[in-house]
Amino acid sequence: MQSPEFIFYFTLTLFLFLNVSKAQNESPTKTILVDQSGKGQFTTVQKAIDSIPSNNKQWTIILLNAGVYKEKVMIVKEKPYIILKGMGRSSTVIEWGDSGNSLESSTFKLYAPNFMARDITFKNTFDLEMVDDVMTTITWAPAALLNADKASFYNCGFVGIQDTLTDLVGRHFFDNCYFEGAIDFIWGYGQSLYQNSEIHVNAKSVGLFNAYITAQGRDSDKETNGFVFNYCKVTGTGPAYLGRAYRNHSTVVFYRSTFEDIIAPEGWDAWHNAGKEESITYAEVDCYGPGANKSKRVKWEKTLSSEEMKKFIYAKLFLNQDNWIEEQLKHV
């Protein structure tokens, strides 16, 4: 049996440890101001990010005053707990013009977990600048690359033509966002929920005859990734396919979303996975608008039961079992 003194000191040590841990998790949020005219601590986004110490454990808001920040931005994996906050997605823009491999050409690259962005547009101008040149082929030109877990975006924009959002790896949540592109402009292996957002197809404006919104890359039935669109609207110029199968278990669900009259009658494309359609999960549930007529959809489009739908459309079941979304919002 331990002495009363031991029990007292053990209890005191445990109490202090728990309170220190709690203090670390609930430490006051730090704010850094970025202003291009020199009225903040930094004039570029990247310099503000670089100022945050590696293995940071304190939530830090990087506040971006209105302006077009013409730079590439990268958050390395050693710098978690960052919030990028602009003045509105039409007022604060991070843009660059580059093409090629997503790992090299993306305007914004995220490798750190526990990240949030609000009121910012991420833009890759490369393809947008090339559309008037008939000798130039549209190519990969991502506005953002997400290669990290627990990333959320509120009232953000992602603008490009091909591969606009490289939703590569991790759990990601988007609310009231805007996505613009024409070819596979939301693609990757992410486990992501998009809600109350606009997906704008700009195919005809860049001279394309067909557009593809998603190219999701789920590769096996053991994986939990997929793209889910709740209460979204699809606008622009088509014809546009809701998705084409980047891998043979590609998973995309549209729920209670509105489609303008731009959706290709078939709706979906098996792409390189023709003949393997039984493993693809593509579904439209309770969608409406002139583009939601499913009478000519591909025969292999899935009809999901109510129980199957629940695991997709409820954030708590699909990607938020550990309440990371609510935890992040405490620090805004």
**Catalytic amino acids?**
163, 184
Distance separating alpha carbons of residues 74 and 51, to the nearest angstrom: 13
**Identity of the residue numbered 182:** A
Distance separating alpha carbons of residues 128 and 96, to the nearest angstrom: 11
Contacts of 41 (CB under 8 A, 6+ apart): 32, 33, 34, 48, 51
Distance separating alpha carbons of residues 125 and 256, to the nearest angstrom: 32
Chain-centroid distance of CA 7 in Å reads: 50
**To the nearest 5 percent, what fractions of the chain are helix, strand and coil?**
20, 35, 45
46, 109, 156, 158, 203 from 71: Cα distances, Å: 8, 12, 17, 15, 26
